[in-house]
Chains A and B, each alone.
Chain A
């Protein structure tokens, strides 16, 4: 597997306006490490969508990013309400976000589809009442 650089972030579930700070920091770190703009954009957008989801639905959580030479793994974990129907949640346009979130420009039902489209592999493990963990990989 070779050398790996790890980043860990706690995502604050109470502060919607600061959501995205972890993604912006990852973007800067990846740029300093010399990754291409395309890889940086894919990782940071997928991670931002996940951050936003955790803030909207799960009162925050944690984000871990493992950077290898040939791939970048993003693991987002929360103790929120869980997703009862993952297949439905993955459909473009499906959203359970409340109106106050929609008024900010989110809740279009594009978050999970964007995360899937921007990554090479994505898995969701979720249990209703316990939480959700999303595993994403972007190949370099």
Chain B
């Protein structure tokens, strides 16, 4: 351990509101004790929040300004299982799958903090599998609705804007989940191969035992779950 000679003595940053003012008015960096990778992921997620926010607002405008009746989501998304009509059942299962995957991701991040290589990789693969399951169910839902005649320009259930809003919002979310699954597998592979335990610098790892890539990946994955919470409430339950 060698101290950098030109580094000023690092006082612990002030907590609370005072610390917030000091951080934001300070030199060079506002986000103390946060690595650039994590700060950038948060800023990316904020921008993504705006994208999804705009989609949901656009959906809201379309829905509240249409003169024809909006299709009843709990009927459109109902499934017949064993002769019983269950409203929204597939969406409910998808929600539970995504929450479960968020839980396993949180476990993976927790394992990464203690640098447990194999449990971290396995939990990430499990998260990816649940995410892939979610996308699979979404594909099923899409093909069912397309089969029933739902198109971006019209559908047999009511207001024409329903199809466009549905495909746009769930499609964009599904794309996020798919990208997340791919990245989870990439990071999991790196963890499994022990790339974060080697004393070398890569774009994901600053040196031996730097597992922060897992935590940053976790931020993205939880965000995907977070967006689904809003889609579930506004699109499916409204």
Q: Do A and B make up one complex?
A: no
